[in-house]
Chain A
C-alpha cells in the first residue's frame, strides 16, 4: 500500500479540481460549489487512507518518498516525502478545506465576482499548501512557498471586504520580501552545499558549513519564515489580511498558511543550520515572548472581530516559537501539536466570527451586544471556540500549550514564566470579546437586522460539528497525533544536536544544555 504515490496524487488532485471548477461558467455557481466540496472531500478521503498507511514509530523518518527528475543540471528534483510533522499538517489541511468550502457557501453570493473563480482559487490554494508541506527538496519547497501567495492574493483582493486592495498588496509584498531573502539563502545554500537541493544531502553538508556563512543563510530562511508565521516585529500584515479576507479564507490564512513559517523553521532552519539555530535561539525566544505579550495586549484593544482573532493568532505563534527554540522534545512536540490545534481552534473561531459578521453585515464589536439572546446556538459555538482558543483544559490547545510550557520551563524558566502571563491575557481578550458580543443586554440595532434572528442552519451545523468534535477528542486523547509527531521532532532535535535535559538537571536551575 505504501507504493501508491500518495503525495503526488494528493498534491495534484486539488490542482486538477481548481482547473475543473474554473472552467464552470459563472452562471452555474451552485454546481461549482458542489464540485469544489466533493473534490476537497476526495482529498480528505485520500489523506485519511494515507494516515492509515503511515507507519508510526518507523525508523524511516520520511515516508511516502517519491522523487522525479526535474532540472538535472541544478540537481533540483520533484521530491515529495512526509515525516510526522508534515503528515499532521497535511491532515489539518485536508480537514480544514472541506469545512471552509462549506462555510464559504454564500460568501461570494453578494459579491459581483464569480463564484467558480472563488472556489477554484480555494482549491488552487489547497494545491500550493499541500505542495509546500509535502516538498522534500529545497528548490521545490521554495517554488511552492512563493506561488502560494498568488491564489491568496486574489482571494483577498477580489473577494475581501473593507481595505481589501491595501491588504492584498501588503500581504503580497511582505511575503515576497521574505521569499526573496529566502531566495538569496537558497542560492547560497546550493552553492556552499555542493550544488544540490536534496534535503538529506544538505543536512549532511550543513554540519561542515563555515560558521558565518551558516548564520547568514539561517537568517535568510528565518526572516522569510518569521514574516510568514508571523513573529513580532514582522506581524503587521496579518491583522490587515485577516481583517480584509473573507472569513473562510482568513481561517485558512492563519489556520494553515501561517504554519508554513513555523514548519519551515522546524524543517529547514534547524536541521540545515544547527549551530546557527542554537546561536540565534535566544533572539528568537525573545521575539516569540514579545509576540505573545504584545499581540495579546493589542487583541484586548481591538474593536474589529476579525482583526482581534488575527492578533490572538500572532500571540499563539509566539507560543509555537518558544516551543521550537526551547530545543526539548516536549517543547517541540507541543509546538507541532499546537500548530494542529491552533489550526482547528482558530479556524473554528474565524468561521464562527464569519457567521456573525455575515448576519450582522459588520465586523465591529460595538455593532453587537447580547447576540446570544437572538442566536443562542451560534453564541454557544463562539463561546466554545473562544474557550478552545484560550486553551481551556479539555480542549485540544490546552494539551499543546501545556507541553510547550513544561518543555520550555525545563530549559528556559524565565521565558516560560513570562509566556504564562500570556495565558491570562488570552483569557482577558477572549472572554471580553464574548461578553461584548453575545452577553449582556440586547443591542436594539441588532434586533432590527432580520438575519440576526436565524440561528445555525443545517449547513452551518455541519461546518462547525467536525471541528468541535476534533477539538474535544484531541483534548482528551491526543496520543494518536503525538505518537506521529514525536519521532519526527526527536529526529529534528538530533540534527540540531541538542538533548533533553536530564530530570535532575532541572534542579540546578541551569538546564542540561
Chain B
C-alpha cells in the first residue's frame, strides 16, 4: 500500500466556503466569550463580515474554472454565480434575523430547550433578548449551501446537504411566538428531510454501482457508454432526484413547505425561501446538466410532469389559503415549478434563465417576508388574511410596496417576476418544451387570483377593527426591504446586465 497522498487543493477557490465555516466556528466561541448584552451585535457584525469577505473572494475568483480537492468541488461559472446569489440573499436574510426593534428581543426565543407550554416557557416569552446562536447556525447553513452548489461528486453533495439542512431544522424551531407551531414545523421538516436525505444516499449507492464512481464526470461517461444495468442508473437518478426535489419543494415532495414556512420564524422563512431555493436548484442544475445530460430523454418527461404538477398544485392551493405565510409558501411552490420549466430546457439558455429567475425571485421573496414581519399586533405577526383588510388606508406605503411585490409574483411587466418568467418560458420553448410553457401560462392565470385577492383586500376593503398597526421597521428590516424592492424594479426595467452575467456564467466544468 503506497503512501497516502493529499490531492492538490486550490484554497483560493475554496476560500468563500472556508471563510463561512470559520466564521461560524468563531461565532460559537463568541457565545462563550462575549457577555450577553454585546453578543447580538457582535454576532451580527461577525456574520455579515464573513459574508462580505466570502463575496470579496468570489469576485476575485470570478474567472476561476477548475475542479479541485480531488474532484470533489468544481468552481465554475454557475458555481460562482449561484454562490454569489446565496451570499447576497443570505446577507439580506441576516438583516432580517438581526432585527431587534420591531419586536422586543427579536423573533427568536431566548431559550429553545424548554418544554413548549410549560411554566418556564410562558415566562420566557416577553421582552428577554433572543438566542444569538442563530447567527452561527445561519452561517453554517450558508457555508453548506455554498458547498452544495459547488459539489462535483454525489458524496460531497450529500455532506453539503446535511451541513445546511441540520441548522435549518434547528432554526425553524426557534420562533418566539406560536412555539408549538414552530416546533411542529421543525419536527416535520426534520423527519421529512431525513427521509429525503436517506433517499438521496440510497440513490448515490445505486449510482456508484452503475458508474463505479460518484464523481459527475465519471457518471457522465458511464451514461454515455453504460457498462452496467440501466436499472441502476434510473433507480439511482430517481432516488437522488427525490432528495433534491424535496429541498426545492417540488410536487409531490412539497407537502412540508406550507407548514414549515408558517411555523418557522419569519426571517428564517425568508432565508429558506430565498437561499435554500437557490442552493437546491443549483444542485439540481449541476446534477442534471453536469452528470445526467446524456439521459435527458429519459428524465425530461418525468421531471416535466413533476414541474407541471408543481405549478398546478402551487397555483390551485394558493387560492384557498387564508394565512399570508401559507399563501406565500404555495406561491413559492408554484415558482419552483416555473424554475423547473427553465431547468428542463436543458440548454445554456435554460441554465442562465434559471439562475436569473433564482436571483429575481430571491430578492422579491425576502422583501415579501420582510413585510409580513412588519404587520403585527400584540400577539406578534398578524398573518391571517382577514387582518390585512384595509391596510392600504392605514399604511399606504407598506401596502404599495407589497402590492408591487405581488405584481412581481404575478409576472406583470416592469417587475423582475415578468422578466424572469419570460426568460425561463423562452428558454423552454426554445428547448422544445412548449407544453410546459402552456402549463406555465395557464397556472400563471390561476395564481394571479390569490395575489389579486390580497391587493383587493389591502386597498379596496374597509379597514376593520382588527386591522393591526404596522410596526415602524428598524434599520435592518428597512434595508432588506428596500434592497429587495429596488432589485425587483431594476430587474424589471433594466434586466440586461444580470442577463448578460448569467449568460457568461452558464458553462459547467466537470
Does A70 lie within 8 Å of B456, measured CB to CB? no
Residue of B422, B430, B441, B496 near A181 (CB, 8 A) is B441
Name the segment of B28-36, B286-294, B407-415 touching the other chain: B407-415
Chain B residues lying within 8 Å of A154, measured Cβ to Cβ, are 459
Q: Which chain A residue has the least Cβ–Cβ distance from B442?
A: A180
Chain B residues lying within 8 Å of A71, measured Cβ to Cβ, are 419, 495-496, 499
Interface bits B377-415 vs A (CB < 8 Å: 1, else 0): 000000000000000000000000000000100101110
Does B500 lie within 8 Å of A183, measured CB to CB? no
Q: Is B445 an interface residue (CB 8 A)?
A: yes
Name the segment of A101-109, A157-165, A373-381, A472-480 touching the other chain: A157-165
Does A190 lie within 8 Å of B426, measured CB to CB? yes
Least distance between B450 CB and chain A CB atoms (Å): 12
Q: Which chain A residue has the least Cβ–Cβ distance from B502?
A: A73
B contacts with A: majority SS: helix
Chain A residues lying within 8 Å of B429, measured Cβ to Cβ, are 187-188, 190-191
Does A180 lie within 8 Å of B445, measured CB to CB? yes
Chain B residues lying within 8 Å of A72, measured Cβ to Cβ, are 496, 500
Bound form: Cα–Cα A103–B414 in Å: 31
Residue of A143, A150, A168 near B407 (CB, 8 A) is A150
Instruction: Using known A-B contacts A73-B496, A147-B414, A176-B448, determine if residue A158 contacts B460 with beta carbons closer than 8 Å.
Output: yes
Q: Assign chain B's interface to a size class.
A: 20 to 34
Residue of A73, A142, A165, A187 near B456 (CB, 8 A) is A165
Chain A residues lying within 8 Å of B407, measured Cβ to Cβ, are 150
Instruction: Using known A-B contacts A72-B496, A184-B438, determine if residue A173 contacts B460 with beta carbons closer than 8 Å.
Output: no
Does A187 lie within 8 Å of B460, measured CB to CB? no
Does B496 lie within 8 Å of A70, measured CB to CB? yes
Least distance between B504 CB and chain A CB atoms (Å): 10
Interface bits B411-448 vs A (CB < 8 Å: 1, else 0): 01110001100100110011000100110011011001
Instruction: Using known A-B contacts A146-B413, A187-B429, A187-B437, determine if residue A173 contacts B448 with beta carbons closer than 8 Å.
Output: yes
Residue of A147, A165, A181 near B460 (CB, 8 A) is A165
Bound form: Cα–Cα A110–B196 in Å: 60
Q: Which chain B residue has the least Cβ–Cβ distance from A191?
A: B429
Bound form: Cα–Cα A190–B413 in Å: 17
Q: Is A169 an interface residue (CB 8 A)?
A: yes
Instruction: Using known A-B contacts A73-B500, A176-B448, determine if residue A188 contacts B434 with beta carbons closer than 8 Å.
Output: yes
Bound form: Cα–Cα A165–B426 in Å: 34
Q: Is A38 an interface residue (CB 8 A)?
A: no
Bound form: Cα–Cα A187–B444 in Å: 15
Chain A residues lying within 8 Å of B445, measured Cβ to Cβ, are 173, 176-177, 180
Chain A residues lying within 8 Å of B419, measured Cβ to Cβ, are 71
Instruction: Using known A-B contacts A73-B496, A142-B413, A147-B414, determine if residue A183 contacts B459 with beta carbons closer than 8 Å.
Output: no
Q: Is B503 an interface residue (CB 8 A)?
A: yes
- Could you tell me which residues of chain A, from 442 to 476, have a CB within 8 Å of some CB in chain B? none
Q: Which chain A residue has the least Cβ–Cβ distance from B431?
A: A191
Q: Is B449 an interface residue (CB 8 A)?
A: yes
Instruction: Using known A-B contacts A74-B426, A150-B407, A180-B444, determine if residue A168 contacts B499 with beta carbons closer than 8 Å.
Output: no
Does B412 lie within 8 Å of A173, measured CB to CB? no
Chain B residues lying within 8 Å of A234, measured Cβ to Cβ, are none
Q: Is A172 an interface residue (CB 8 A)?
A: yes
Does A164 lie within 8 Å of B460, measured CB to CB? yes
Q: Which chain A residue has the least Cβ–Cβ distance from B434?
A: A188
Q: Is B452 an interface residue (CB 8 A)?
A: yes
Least distance between A121 CB and chain B CB atoms (Å): 12
Bound form: Cα–Cα A180–B443 in Å: 10
- Could you tell me which residues of chain B, from 446 to 500, have a CB within 8 Å of some CB in chain A? 448-449, 452-453, 456, 459-461, 494-496, 499-500
User: Interface of A with B (CB < 8 Å)?
Assistant: 69-74, 142-144, 146-147, 149-150, 154, 157-158, 164-165, 168-169, 172-173, 176-177, 180-181, 183-184, 187-188, 190-191
With A73-B503, A188-B434 known, 20 other A-B pairs at CB within 8 A are A71-B499, A72-B500, A73-B496, A143-B418, A150-B407, A150-B412, A164-B460, A165-B456, A165-B461, A168-B460, A169-B452, A176-B448, A180-B442, A180-B445, A183-B422, A184-B438, A184-B441, A187-B429, A187-B437, A188-B429
6 closest Cβ pairs, A-B complex = A143-B413, A184-B441, A157-B460, A146-B413, A191-B429, A165-B460
What would 27 A/B residue contacts be, using CB atoms closer than 8 Å?
A69-B496, A71-B499, A72-B496, A73-B496, A73-B499, A73-B500, A73-B503, A143-B413, A143-B414, A144-B413, A146-B418, A149-B412, A157-B456, A157-B459, A164-B460, A165-B461, A168-B456, A172-B452, A173-B445, A173-B448, A173-B449, A176-B448, A180-B444, A181-B441, A184-B437, A184-B441, A190-B426
